Structure 1
């Protein structure tokens, strides 16, 4: 099972258990909570009715007293109340009044008149000065038929002369209880659904971050490293930096071996040329021959010095993990490059067109100048005399593409997969080859800027080099 699914399952189980525990408590407390609230209202009603019943008992005609008259009027009155979706149409109280011996002298339903209720808990306890209440089913076979009764004493001059008991069927409370249970269960279901969505979003984010790190690690394995991914979490950013640091340390040995091998290979030709020129000069040739071979020695020496300097720059760049980002004006950078290459452009009668856009990107200005300078040098080398080169930017949302286009010969098919390899170089128009470090340098600059570099042949001839950068970097 994937780690994301494990996280989602574990998170959902924790939320589900917590929700079940809370919901179970709520559901279990609904019924007794409603009944406790109802019992409290019955106590209030019984106490109030006991005051009315006192005058009826003292008058000696409770069957025709104020209490009986009030209930007769209530039974004939229509009730139409909508209580939060529960429709109430009638009075649900059952009230009976007993004398001091527990004999029923008034019953609101008219069925218990004259019966002895002295043994019922509500009456028996109340006559003895205690709190009296009972819950009795009207149908022994049906537990839902129980009625809750609460009694209050009828007191005259400090003595109990009777008991008023007010009852309400528990079935009348069921709509309230069921409605509350449904609402709580719906809320619980919604809670689980929301928790599942949040968990799915969290797992998607984690999987996406891990996938980006995996893609980055795979690119290193394939010797085609992509820019270090930008991750939202500080812990994942630390992990990404740790992977980058590990990559550099693991590549250290091979890196040095490759550089030593490449440096030996590249220096072999100029050293052989210098040695041959020195042997000829030892024989004392004519002045014009001395001048020619002296020029060759100086040229080869300059070539070796340039190669060593580029190797040092490349090694220094590849060991950097981050850079300081500042706003860079691409228009000013283009004009700087045009001025620095003016002699090389004039020598081949090349026309350089610089875009007019005042685009601001975020990066290291010196590194970007060197990278774009390398791309421009390649364009100058591979564009025939009288050709054209373009420098411009293209905005793509939060990213900016810096483009160098030339009208040269393009990249041969056999070289497409190797153009970013260190020391790989194609012959220029003058037959010479470069150090093969220019595009490798550009690729490292793109990596440090968390951007990208692409080289593509143009249908009409030439190459389009696209360096993708951030407009703003945080």
Structure 2
């Protein structure tokens, strides 16, 4: 599992856990809060109505006729009151009156019958004892929405409680407010979780982006590439990036030395054996012609060793560089023509025809010596593998914001088994005519020089006809 997914899953779990821990008690509190808000004005109404009855005088409690007719009128009257999202179409609050013994005297609703004993209910019993009397009871025990709230107030005469007036109201009318509030809280909670996840995703991207760059860098190094070291933010990540780069250099240098020693030893065996054999033979009594031949062999093999050492030094110096020295503007068409003229002798010896298609707009910024050496090595390979009277095509053109250079020959092409090794140091194929091999450093040098110029070099076989093709792409000036 990726680090980004780990961070997102962790934040999602924490957000959901926090959402559940925080929202559950809030949702529970919402219902209670609405009930408290409803009960408080019911206390006022009950006390006001009880106070009105307390001043009618005497110990006999009777519901005034005006109250009876008024309640019947108000229940028959249609309402059109829009309270936020609730459309109220009738009065839902009622009241009943009981005497000092708790027997029902009057009920504006349908709770009980006149004369019924209500002293068993908390609102009546507690109020008669001089306490705060309130209760909530279900009309249907199986239906939690059938609860009715009751609030009682004492009817007093000469300091004596002579009865109770209880105001009651069904809770069903508050359900819409409660449900709407709960739904709104849940939506806000889910939105908060979504925002946390979004911020977590952005945070994970911000945290893992440097690690992804470092991972891509390590993968490129493992493929044998030489990418620039990534710039890491923060002290710890910067130290990690610098340590990774230092480790790469240490491992690369160790592998580089080991590979060079093995390859160099292999390449030097042949000329050293030739020099040693010729020297041993020269110690014997030989004819002058043979001595001249063996001395020529010693000179040839010595020159071969010297060329190998020079190329190794040039390649080692190039591989240790990370940027250009003093880049200048280079007109590639002129540079290519000069390189072609340098190989005029090869043109005459093998009767090779050079076909040039060069655009004068191809200009790059770089080191002239490195690019000239790279192009010279590629052209020399094309000449070595070209048949007699063959044709070599050299083109240079603009390709978007890049300059492309192509060198094609009509030789046998590159065998399938060698395509993946042509850039290896000291690896070379025998030339068709002489069967001799080169040092195997030319293509490696060319690629290093092109990549130092932030370009790319591709070598492969031509698609439509026989021969090999080398393509260089460099940033346009």
Q: Do both share a fold (TM > 0.5)?
A: yes
For the pair 1:463 / 2:468, whether they are aligned, the reply is yes
Q: Which residue pairs with 2:32 in the alignment?
A: 35
Render the CA deviation track for 1:251-273: whole Å, top value 9, x for unaligned: 25532422431452365388569
Contact kept? 2:43, 2:153, Cα under 8 Å = yes
Cα shift at 1:437 = 0.6
**Distance in 2 between residues matched to 1:10 and 1:377, nearest whole Å:** 56
Residues 1:442 and 1:394: Cα distance change in structure 2 (over 3 Å): same
The structure 1 residue matched to 2:342, chosen from 339, 344, 347, is 344
Match in the other structure for 1:419: 422
Tell me which residue corresponds to 1:264.
268
Q: Which runs of 5+ in 1 are unaligned?
A: 220-224
Question: Matches of residues 326-405 of structure 1 in structure 2 within 5 Å?
Answer: 332=330, 334-335=332-333, 337-338=335-336, 340-344=338-342, 346-347=344-345, 348=347, 350-355=354-359, 371-372=374-375, 374-379=377-382, 381-382=384-385, 387-395=392-400, 402-405=404-407
SS of the residue corresponding to residue 338 of structure 1 reads helix
* Structure 2 Cα separation of the partners of residues 328 and 95 of structure 1: 100
What is the SS of the residue equivalent to 1:388?
A: strand
Distance 1:258 1:151 in 2: 105
1:12, distance to aligned residue in structure 2 (A): 3.1
Q: TM-score, normalised by structure 2?
A: 0.66
- SS of equivalent to 2:419: helix
Distance 2:151 2:267 in 1: 103
CA distance in structure 1 between the partners assigned to 2:41 and 2:474 by the alignment: 78
Cα distance, 1:463 vs structure 2: 2.6
Alignment of 1:26-425 (within 5 A): 26-47=23-44, 50-51=47-48, 54-55=51-52, 58=55, 62-65=63-66, 69=70, 72-79=73-80, 81=82, 89-96=89-96, 107-112=107-112, 120-122=121-123, 132-140=133-141, 144-150=145-151, 165-178=166-179, 191=193, 216=220, 219=223, 225-226=224-225, 228=227, 241=245, 244-245=248-249, 247-252=251-256, 254-265=258-269, 267-268=271-272, 271=275, 303-318=304-319, 323-324=322-323, 332=330, 334-335=332-333, 337-338=335-336, 340-344=338-342, 346-347=344-345, 348=347, 350-355=354-359, 371-372=374-375, 374-379=377-382, 381-382=384-385, 387-395=392-400, 402-413=404-415, 415-425=418-428
Unaligned runs of 5+ residues in structure 2 are 348-352
The C-alpha deviation readout for 1:333-371, integer Å capped at 9, x for no partner, is 52463265153255536343334566879x999766654
Post-superposition offset of 1:178: 4.9
Aligned residues: 450
Q: With the length of structure 1 as denominator, give the TM-score of the two structures.
A: 0.67
1:16–1:91 Cα change, 3 Å: farther
Deviation of residue 100 (structure 1)? 8.4
SS in structure 1 at match of 2:426 = coil
* 1:350/1:165 CA distance change after superposition, 3 Å: farther
Q: How big is the alpha-carbon RMSD for the aligned residues of Structure 1 and Structure 2?
A: 5.8
Q: Kindly state the Cα deviation for residue 109 of structure 1 after the two structures are TM-superposed.
A: 0.9
Equivalent in the alignment of 1:222: none
Bigger radius of gyration among the two: 2
Please give the alpha-carbon distance, in whole angstroms, between the structure 2 residues aligned to 1:176 and 1:306.
Answer: 94
Preserved contact between residue 221 and residue 227 of structure 2 (Cα < 8 Å): no
Does the CA-based 8 Å contact 1:456-1:463 persist in structure 2?
yes
1:145: Cα distance to partner?
3.5
Deviations 1:408-448 (A, max 9, x none): 31523254343222122345688464321122234445777
